[in-house]
Amino acid sequence: MNFSNKSNWNKRPQAAKEKAHGVARVISKRGFCSRSQAENLVREGHVSLRGKIVRDPDTPARENDEICVDGKPVKASEFVYFMMNKPRGYVTTASDEKGRRTVMDLFREQYAKMFPGKPVPHISPVGRLDTASEGLLLFTNDTQWADALLKTKEDKCVERALRTSSLGHDRVQHLGLERSESPKTRESRNPNVILSEASAKSKDPVTALHTKIYRVQVAGKSTAAELSQMEKGFNVPPRVFGESEEFMHAERAVLHSEGEKNCWLEITLSEGKNREIRRMLAHLGYEVLRLVRIKFCNFELGDLKQGEIKEIHLTKKSEQITV
């Protein structure tokens, strides 16, 4: 490329800048509503793009395009971030067809207490916690940030590792991003990552950014061999008859405390498979009595009381946060 040619110099950045997305996605990214809600609004004829009604959610739109819902401009909302200590019995969804209490019901109640008279922002939970599960649940209207937290595929981790460390294949292997690493290597790596007070400062930034830590109470007492088996991984029967088995593993599984008839485990995951901990423990013959998430990426539950929310103030989205 001729860098002395100003038109050539600007051509590529300009093309990237003008990249279009479906109009429903753009509405969601502006924090107006969820993507599924935006899709319904478009199909029902409530949305205009550059002055014309559109009915296809995938109609190309750019970030700066004029978009209106029922004649009112959809402008980018201020991004907000919250954490909740989710109690047992709440469904992680915006609404429930069975009439069960949702985390959004609880969020609106708590928000009204924190900010009396202030309208509740459109906000959604980041990821999920089962109805019977408890603990740390994040909320935001920043869809790009939420998507980044939920990306746990190995190719994305490798890409980030190579980009941030500028190191080669050996470093990627050391970071534990390849399935070929031995359990011994994984065991020696994890304590430096999981037990660190500030995971964002860990020597293993990729793993630290994508781990979730749970305290799990089970009936009976797990053996060291069984916990080691969870770290090595094994195939778990499918939830739906006719589907194939799934390979599941824990990044780290240790005994936290024990009583006469039950014990507490601390289990770290780097994946997001459905009911992963419950299914692994059920396969080993254990009943889960309680399951509490205490950490998600760089976010820790701390002393937040059950059922309460706390606003999160970010420094940089790619770095450690303060709460």
DSSP for 131-195?
Answer: TT-EEEEEEES-HHHHHHHH---HHHHHHHHHHHH---HHHHHHTT-STTS-HHHHHHHHHHHHT
Asked if residue 51 belongs to a domain, the reply is yes
Output the pLDDT for position 146.
87
Asked if residue 23 belongs to a domain, the reply is yes
The four Cα atoms 143, 149, 154, 157 give a dihedral, to 10 degrees, of 100
What DSSP state is assigned to residue 214?
Answer: E
Domain that holds residue 10: 6-73
Rounded CA gap, 68 and 52, in Å?
9
Asked if residue 239 belongs to a domain, the reply is no
Asked if residue 300 belongs to a domain, the reply is no
Say if residue 270 is exposed, middle or buried (CB neighbours under 10 Å; 0-12, 13-18, 19+): buried
Tokens standing for residue 151 = 């990306």
Asked if residue 201 belongs to a domain, the reply is no
Output the pLDDT for position 92.
93
Asked if residue 68 belongs to a domain, the reply is yes
Say if residue 32 is exposed, middle or buried (CB neighbours under 10 Å; 0-12, 13-18, 19+): buried
Apex CA 116: angle with CA 322 and CA 307, to 5°? 55
Asked if residue 42 belongs to a domain, the reply is yes
pTM for the model stands at 0.69
Say if residue 155 is exposed, middle or buried (CB neighbours under 10 Å; 0-12, 13-18, 19+): exposed
Under 8 Å between Cβ of 100 and 91: yes
What DSSP state is assigned to residue 102?
Answer: B
Q: From the first residue on, what is the mean pLDDT of each consecutive set of 10 residues in the chain (323 residues)?
A: 44 54 89 86 95 95 92 87 96 87 95 92 89 96 85 53 49 38 36 31 46 96 95 91 91 95 95 90 96 94 96 68 46
Rounded CA gap, 64 and 50, in Å?
10
Of all helices (H) and strands (E), which one includes residue 200? none
Asked if residue 52 belongs to a domain, the reply is yes
Active site residues: 130
Output the pLDDT for position 34.
79
Q: Phi, psi (5° rounding) for residue 56? A: -105, 115
Question: What CATH number does the domain containing 43 carry?
Answer: 3.10.290.10
User: Could you give the number of structural domains in the chain?
Assistant: 1
- Within 10 angstroms of residue 23's Cβ, the number of other Cβ atoms is 26
Under 8 Å between Cβ of 297 and 319: no
